Structure 1
Amino acid sequence: MTKAQGSRLTPETVVATALRLLDERGLEAVTTRAVAEALGVRMNTVLWHIKNKARLLELMADAVVGEVVYDGLPEDGTERARELLRRYRRALLAHRDGAALVTGTYAADPGTLRFADAVLAALTARGDSAEAGAWTLFALIYFTLGLTQEEQAVSSADEPRLHGAVLAGEYPALQQALPHLTGNTFEERFTDGLNRLLG
């Protein structure tokens, strides 16, 4: 690597390369060494820009959330919050293991903070107090992350396995509800969950 090549490297370039690795190979494959190899530089050069792997993951997570688009949002606070969460989920789904990446970080960075601020503003616009809005924000984010992480991890064999296990055991409540626990989509579960949280 020449000095000129090293001087052109930026944190944004490192994060973009790490996101490409994420999409190609999954979250477990994202290491500072792998990013350095993809960039054709020494690992210390990457670390100079992003400090450590934990910070790299935070910056990646913030970049994913930063893909949320804010144009054309509804005026109504509840509907605005609902649409923001839909866009958040789409941003997570746009990257392999996107939800697992964001779940595993605590990114106090511009993309993440802008999204949280927009949702909280929508909730307070509909009449929630700052306290109620904050708690609803937590519930919405945790629900969306958990559901989307499961959606990205599930395999086609998981639902039949669950169905068989419930029927084979002594789970009367689950057996009664089984038609409602299987055979629906993650999109339907997401919409229902938003309706329950937002009213």
Structure 2
Amino acid sequence: MSQLTRAHVVQAALEALEAKGLEGLSVRVVADHLGVRMNTVLWHVKTKARMLDLMADAVVGEIGYEGLPAGAPERARELACRYRQALLAHRDGAALVAGTYPAEPNTLRFAESVVSALLEAGAGEKEAAWTAWTMIYFVVGLTQEEQAAPVPGDTRLVQAVNAADHPALDRVVGHLAHGSFEERFVFGLDALLARLTA
């Protein structure tokens, strides 16, 4: 590739992520994917950590802002939904984003949109900031669990819980099935945003 750019490197890194997963991703893997030397990749991204930051920002950059609800609480909810979908669209997408702290354009745009919606919904400055952080961490954490979940039919949790040693867990274990991520997402989002509409 004669005109290799940082954008090409990030795109190649995302393609390598799909093929190898986050654990199998390295600067060398990206270089091999591009058919260039490792130093060529490092010239554009400097370090693996920087490459991961740029990848995470690119994932968040896939969030669309068209057609968002006019109402502020509904807009905050929809942004959280679109954030989750962007993470789910990539293998290990949530784990990638969880391990990075990019102060990059796409990430900042998303944070600005969420905080703006929360402020407009009536949250104070501290509440808006902390609610945004809580919402982002909730989405990332739940999505990371979803992407790492065992295959359907895995019964390890059910088998590990017994009424004698875990009486409370035994009562609720049926509600912790790996297939309930969508419902848990909605439940958690409702709980987070309830204060704004109280």
> Shared fold (TM-score greater than 0.5)?
yes
Equivalence for 1:11 = 6
Q: Report the residue type matching 1:50 in the other structure.
A: V
Equivalence for 2:103 = 108
Out of 50, 57, 66, which is 2:52 matched to? Answer: 57
Out of 136, 154, 157, which is 1:162 matched to? Answer: 157
Tell whether the 8 Å contact from 2:146 to 2:178 is kept in structure 1 after alignment: no
Other structure's SS at 1:75 match = coil
Equivalence for 1:186 = 181
For 1:159 and 1:138, how far apart are their aligned partners in 2? 32
Structure-to-structure mapping, 1:68-79, within 5 angstroms: 68-79=63-74
Other structure's SS at 1:185 match = helix
Runs of 4+ with >6 A deviation: none
Q: CA deviation at 1:30?
A: 1.5
Equivalence for 1:171 = 166
Q: CA deviation at 1:181?
A: 2.6
| CA offset digits 1:101-148 (Å, max 9, x no partner) | 000000110010000000000100100011100000111001000000
Residues 24 and 80 of structure 1: CA distance in aligned 2, closer, same or farther (over 3 Å)? same
TM-score (normalised: structure 1) = 0.93
**Paired residue total:** 194
Q: CA deviation at 1:183?
A: 7.0
For 2:178 and 2:106, how far apart are their aligned partners in 1? 35
| CA offset digits 1:145-199 (Å, max 9, x no partner) | 0000000001126851111111265111111222323375100000000000001
Gaps of 5+ in 2: none
Equivalence for 2:138 = 143
Equivalence for 1:124 = 119
Equivalence for 1:30 = 25
For 2:147 and 2:178, how far apart are their aligned partners in 1? 17
Tell whether the 8 Å contact from 1:36 to 1:42 is kept in structure 2 after alignment: yes
Indicate yes or no: 2:84 matched with 1:89: yes
For 2:95 and 2:137, how far apart are their aligned partners in 1? 12
TM-score (normalised: structure 2) = 0.94
Tell whether the 8 Å contact from 1:159 to 1:182 is kept in structure 2 after alignment: no
Q: Report the residue type matching 1:142 in the other structure.
A: Y
Residues 159 and 132 of structure 1: CA distance in aligned 2, closer, same or farther (over 3 Å)? farther
Gaps of 5+ in 1: none
For 1:69 and 1:13, how far apart are their aligned partners in 2? 21
Tell whether the 8 Å contact from 2:64 to 2:82 is kept in structure 1 after alignment: yes
Residues 34 and 76 of structure 1: CA distance in aligned 2, closer, same or farther (over 3 Å)? same
Other structure's SS at 1:150 match = helix
